[in-house]
Structure 1
Amino acid sequence: MKSFQQYIGGDFEDGETQFDSLDPATGAVWARMPEASVSDVNRAVDSAEQAFLGSEWAGMTATARGKLLMRLADLISQNAPHLAELETRDTGKIIRETSAQIAYVADYYRYYAGLADKIQGAHLPIDKPDMEVWLRREPIGVVAAIVPWNSQLFLSAVKIGPALAAGCTVVLKASEDGPAPMLEFARIFEQAGFPKGVLNVITGGPAVGATLTSHAKVAHVAFTGGPETARHIVRNSADNLASTSLELGGKSPLIVFDDADLESAVNAQISGVFAATGQSCVSGSRLVVHARIKDAFLARLTEKAEAIVIGAPGDMATEIGPLCTVRQQENSVRLTEQSVAQGARLITGGQILERDGFYFPPTILDCDPAPEAACLSNEFFGPVLSVVSFQDEGEAIEIANNTQFGLASGLFTRDLTRAHRMIRAIRAGIVWVNTYRAVSPIAPFGGHGLSGHGREGGIEAALDYTKIKSVWLRTSDAPIPDPFVMR
């Protein structure tokens, strides 16, 4: 059985205790993972603080930091197949997605490598003739980065990349569900040549997270996960007054008008809710379709959903693999059954597959008979789609915005003026028009409401890891005037 180690202060070590990691495709134990203790968390934060204050990192030019990040990106590219295999084994994500996604993760680090020496301050045209005033952007300090098991190499890149580009140091807590790729990533990071303590990687449950997010030496908490955990983090951060960036869940609508390209819209909906087995924060889990085309759309969608290849995640032919945990499988069953009991019509799926592992099939629920069904307001984090129809543009907007979440949305129409009206009206941090589930290191993503705040990706993310220092320089040699009057 394979064993993994945590990474603290530039050293690889076992945790005080260990826990089993299950293969989601079989439900069997395949590896042993280190369980960080409170002492481990404290040592990791101390190590990050020492690196932040130490001359080797603090005295490094931004250009030199960028070169280290570029070296890291190259190493990720070289090791992408191995990292993809680990992520697939430990989380159940299909190999065709982990392979493509991790190869692209390297581009995120390349983007922030190039941005490192372009994080600029500003000169102020101050209203006092004997003063020069400018703003410096400086690294905020030690960052606690907490990522879930889904797409964790990607979700850590959008935290580690901008944080290191800005000059911060990081303690990363990988999810206790499927941490193998992040613990292996630490070995690749070590090869890149960063000073010791710049990145520390630990894993563990709620006690580890609570200790980390409330730590007095943590200046910023970057978290991806669910709203309930985020509430605990915000409460914990009251102790250290750390700033937070929270990328949370969603109940994202994909709105399809009757003039849409039907085939493209169906494919986008398949991608939006069934790709990654629905285990995505931007999952397009609510189809809001014009009543005139609903039947034709659902017929084509159901045909394609029932043809999806369900299989072993390590097989390149597989299109849907297992859910990561048995908890998700149980949650998908529970919410589906609850919604059907509330009047939703089950079109396809809904039953646990008779095979080992945590599988759940593509499931479609027609909620027109049950507008209050649980599936319309709760995040499944599984391959379950809720469908509701609309008659006109105003009703489509009302349905789309009838949620406490506000992360992503999709829109399919050939009408350009309608598209612009809808873009303005939809309350979400991302609007995809005639496409879905596209990302880039250049474009920020994030939401509002129960989908959190702050942005990841783009230059905005790097600025979140800086603080502003105002510098005043008096240029006059004349004596300072009346000291009892504020300048």
Structure 2
Amino acid sequence: MLNADDLQLAQKRIDDLTVTHFIDGEFVSAPGDTAEVINPATEAVIARAARGGAQEVDRAVSAARRARRAWAKTTPAERAAVLLRMADRVDANVELLAAVESLNGGKPFAAVLDEIPVVSDCLRFMAGAARTAQAPAAGEYVAGHISSIRREPVGVVAAVVPWNYPLMMAAWKIAPILAGGNTLVLKPAEATPLSLILFADLVADIVPRGVFNVVLGPGSTVGGALSRHPDVDMVALTGSTRAGQEVAAAAAGTVKRLHLELGGKAPVVVFDDADIDAAVEAIVAGGFVNAGQECGAATRVLCQESIHDQLFEQLSDAAAALRMGDPAEGEAVALGPLVTAAQRDRVAAMVERAKADGAVAVVGGTVPERAGFFYPATVLTGVEAGSEMAREEVFGPVVSVETFTTEAEAIAKANDVVYGLAGSVWTRDHGRALRVVDQLDFGSVWTNTHLVFSSEMPWVGFSQSGYGRDNSTYALDDYTRTKHITMAMGEPDDRPAR
């Protein structure tokens, strides 16, 4: 478990880093303004990061463009070897990466220590997937002609990753993009660049120059420049639905391929025969993990009317028992701060609007008077179906509880959102579980569990949650293109040999 010594070492490592752009295999000088990087638990400035723009984007894209032919020509085994070495480097620095992530994002130690191994596992999985990519069998589909499929890299891919899981979400892009033979320009969130810059420093001697580049700065300038750039072949984004709309609009002029993983509003449908203890445990874990800053968070509970009082009481008690605080205070801290003051204020304003509409915050619901961007674990009841709180993403430690009476009503309420990312169903009736799962319009649906991931299975949204698959071999498919090659067989030579 991380401790105060780990945090001191992490801060020293941050102090030693030049938090600037990583382009063509090296950290480059960045004239111009910088942005403060803040520990959200203390509001202390822990670093200053470069703020790039069109010039840095051009430089990084040019480096990626120069490197793309040589990297694309490497064999899958050669690319896999690079990814495996990167994974080894991550595994050798788990505690350091976790401590930096905790300082920059305010995450409790236990949570962040679970995230870093996901990074190396993703790299290892994609290393293997690169060597097992499949295509339809070559054959004579038209008489006299042999057809085959060639799988190729897309080219230069730009990726924009969010602040809620800075390194893990970056790995979900880095691994399949590089495994597919593409080169990459990656933009981390401006608030949380440190773990990714540390990662770049750790793997700088492993990845060939120009294959992996990082440009820091605001989404409006760096992300916009990448989306519009004529030499970028594809843009991948994990972010809000609004950010996805902006990227899609900017990319339209050059007709780029897009990979968008956007917002969510995950329903947790609990029937009266469910294991309520297990459901409450999962809701607390899935609703308040990372201070609720999770696109698949168990944020909206729909429970059968007959079990409302029991579930609500247990959920409220469990939420109230969560210890909120600075992760540096010790292992008992389960709820850290939100990432920025703006994000905390956004969550607080949304709760206030819900209360004005008649909702009641039985637990939490007010901004605490303390340093840091904290908001308490909050449980709301009396939330009206169709209201903002029932339909819009909170992205904070807020769980609302609504009721239903029939299976059909549960399905209708669960689907009454513009998002289609994730949801869960809780029942001991396997037939009911199958019926409900079949009718829920979400890319990931769990039964009797919530927020369970693996590198082998895809994470994908429907509707305004976007499209494009993270994890699994489907992600590798998304970052490659297929070329159909047809060869005429020619006329047979039936002449006898002399």
**How does the TM-score come out when normalised to structure 2?**
0.93
Asked if the contact 2:392–2:417 (Cα under 8 Å) also holds between the matched residues in 1, the reply is no
Task: Tell me the distance in 2 between the aligned counterparts of 1:252 and 1:152.
Answer: 21
Task: Tell me the distance in 1 between the aligned counterparts of 2:267 and 2:468.
Answer: 21
Q: Alpha-carbon deviations, 1:405-463, whole Å to 9, x = none?
A: 01000111000000000110111000011011111100001111111111111000000
- 1:36 partnered with 2:52: yes
- 1:11 is matched by which residue type in structure 2? E
Which residue is equivalent to 1:403? Answer: 417
RMSD: 1.4
1:195 to 177, 192, 208: 208
- 1:123 partnered with 2:141: no
- 1:26 partnered with 2:39: no
- 1:298 partnered with 2:319: no
- 1:416 partnered with 2:430: yes
- 1:6 partnered with 2:17: no
Asked if the contact 2:21–2:214 (Cα under 8 Å) also holds between the matched residues in 1, the reply is yes
- 1:375 partnered with 2:389: yes
Match of 2:118, SS state, is helix
Bigger shift: residues 359-368 or 263-272 = 359-368
Asked if the contact 1:218–1:240 (Cα under 8 Å) also holds between the matched residues in 2, the reply is no
- 1:329 partnered with 2:315: no
Task: Tell me the distance in 2 between the aligned counterparts of 1:374 and 1:236.
Answer: 28
Task: Tell me the distance in 2 between the aligned counterparts of 1:60 and 1:350.
Answer: 55
- 2:417 is matched by which residue type in structure 1? T
Bigger shift: residues 153-162 or 290-299 = 153-162
Match of 2:454, SS state, is coil
Bigger shift: residues 114-123 or 160-169 = 114-123
Bigger shift: residues 468-477 or 250-259 = 468-477
Which residue is equivalent to 2:302? Answer: 288
User: Which blocks of at least 5 consecutive residues in structure 2 are unaligned?
Assistant: 1-13, 494-498
- 1:341 is matched by which residue type in structure 2? A
Bigger shift: residues 415-424 or 145-154 = 145-154
Pairwise CA distance, 1:343? 0.8
Q: Alpha-carbon deviations, 1:100-126, whole Å to 9, x = none?
A: 111222111000011112123333443
Q: Alpha-carbon deviations, 1:164-188, whole Å to 9, x = none?
A: 1110010000100111111111112
- 1:141 partnered with 2:155: yes
Asked if the contact 2:53–2:225 (Cα under 8 Å) also holds between the matched residues in 1, the reply is no
Match of 1:223, SS state, is strand
Task: Tell me the distance in 1 between the aligned counterparts of 2:275 and 2:30.
Answer: 54
Task: Tell me the distance in 2 between the aligned counterparts of 1:78 and 1:44.
Answer: 28
- 1:262 partnered with 2:281: no
Match of 1:339, SS state, is helix
Which residue is equivalent to 2:119? Answer: 105
1:220 to 231, 234, 254: 234
Number of equivalenced pairs: 475
- 1:313 partnered with 2:320: no
Q: Which runs of 4+ in 1 moved over 4 A?
A: none
Task: Tell me the distance in 2 between the aligned counterparts of 1:14 and 1:262.
Answer: 56
Asked if the contact 2:338–2:373 (Cα under 8 Å) also holds between the matched residues in 1, the reply is yes
Question: What does residue range 65-76 of structure 1 map to in structure 2 within 5 Å?
Answer: 65-76=79-90
Which residue is equivalent to 2:357? Answer: 342
- 1:398 is matched by which residue type in structure 2? A
2:95 to 77, 81, 85: 81
Q: Alpha-carbon deviations, 1:265-297, whole Å to 9, x = none?
A: 000110121111100010111000011000011
1:464 to 458, 465, 478: 478
1:204 to 217, 221, 227: 217
Task: Tell me the distance in 2 between the aligned counterparts of 1:387 and 1:431.
Answer: 19
Question: What does residue range 244-255 of structure 1 map to in structure 2 within 5 Å?
Answer: 244-255=258-269
Pairwise CA distance, 1:477? 4.4
Pairwise CA distance, 1:28? 2.1
Asked if the contact 1:344–1:373 (Cα under 8 Å) also holds between the matched residues in 2, the reply is no
Match of 2:301, SS state, is strand
Task: Tell me the distance in 2 between the aligned counterparts of 1:418 and 1:248.
Answer: 29
